[in-house]
Amino acid sequence: MKSIVDALDHPDWKIQGWQIKFLLSERLLHEIKKISRVSNWYEDPVIADTWTNKLFICFNSIQNYYKVFGVLPQVGDRLFSEESGLIVQERSIDGNVMTITFTLAS
């Protein structure tokens, strides 16, 4: 099982051949740590499942954004909706392995 402090990805999270990955910001990880009920909060299966589901929604948001605008979200863009959700805090691109990593914040 992957830890939520690692880059999280899924084989289906691809856009135009680029693998999309997600990292959670330090602040977000701190919030998650406070709500976890186990000492190894970073490997808590309930937390991991919850965040995996949220990241599927984030990927769908990115995919829809790309379909409409033809570009990927930029730093500061909000995923989910305008009122709530996660913000793209950072975006990094690794052309050697065709990976785009979005760091998300609340």
Average pLDDT score, the chain? 88
pLDDT for residue 20 = 97
Q: 8-15 and 85-94 as β-strands: parallel, antiparallel, unpaired?
A: unpaired
What's the pLDDT at 1?
52
User: CA-to-CA distance for 72 and 102, rounded, in angstroms?
Assistant: 10
Q: Kindly give, in sequence order, each residue whose CB lies less than 8 Å from that of residue 42, ignoring residues fewer than 6 positions away.
A: 3, 4, 5, 29, 33
Residue 48: what pLDDT? Answer: 81
Closest CA to 101 of 3, 20, 13: 20
**For 17-69, how does the pLDDT look when each residue is reduced to its tens digit (9 = 90+)?**
999 999 999 998 888 888 888 788 877 888 888 888 889 989 999 999 999 99
Dist. CA 80–CA 63, nearest whole Å = 12
With bands split at pLDDT 50, 70 and 90, how would you rate the model's confidence at 82? low
